[in-house]
Amino acid sequence: MASYTPPFNISPAMLALTASISEKLGQISLYNNLDAKPHLRRSNLIRSIRSSLRIEANSLSLKEVRDVIAGHEVLGPGNEILEVKNAYAAYEELPDIDPYSISELKRIHGIMTKGLVEESGVFRSGDEGVFAGDKVIFVAPLPQKVPSLMKDLFLWMKKEKELNLLILSSVFHYEFVFIHPFSDGNGRMARLWQTALLAKWREIFRYLPIESKIEKDQTGYYKAIADCNNAGRSDAFIEFMLHQIDNAFEDILKQASAKEGQISEYVGRLLEIMEYDVPYTSNYLMKKVGIKTKDSFRNNYLHPAIELGLVHMTIPDKPRSRNQRYVKK
Among 206, 234, 259, the domain-final residue is: 259
CATH of the domain at 225: 1.10.3290.10
Let me know if residue 301 belongs to a domain: yes
Among 210, 228, 259, the domain-final residue is: 259
Give yes or no: residues 161 and 285 share one domain: no
CB atoms within 10 A of CB 2: 4
Which residue in 133, 130, 156 sits closest to 141, CA to CA?
Answer: 130
For residue 1, name the pLDDT band (cuts at 50, 70, 90): very low
Question: What residue numbers bound the domain in which 278 lies?
Answer: 265-328
Strand ranges for 165-228 from DSSP E? none
Burial category of 56 from C-beta neighbours within 10 Å (exposed 0-12, middle 13-18, buried 19 and up): middle
Bridge partners for 327 per DSSP: 312
CATH of the domain at 272: 1.10.10
Bridge partners for 312 per DSSP: 327
Note the pLDDT tens digit of each residue in 184-219: 999 999 999 999 999 999 988 988 889 999 999 999
Give yes or no: residues 240 and 290 share one domain: no
Note the pLDDT tens digit of each residue in 231-261: 999 999 999 999 999 999 988 787 666 555 5
Cα atoms in the 13 Å half-sphere on the side-chain side of 258: 24
Give yes or no: residues 30 and 137 share one domain: yes
Q: In the prediction, which pLDDT does 161 show?
A: 84
Give yes or no: residues 151 and 295 share one domain: no
Distance CA 84, CA 78 (A): 10
Q: Residue 77 in 3-state DSSP?
A: coil
Domains of the chain: total = 2
Note the pLDDT tens digit of each residue in 66-82: 899 989 999 889 999 99
Give yes or no: residues 68 and 100 share one domain: yes
> Residue 31 pLDDT > 60, yes or no?
no
Give yes or no: residues 55 and 114 share one domain: yes
Q: In the prediction, which pLDDT does 319 show?
A: 86
Distance CA 59, CA 64 (A): 10
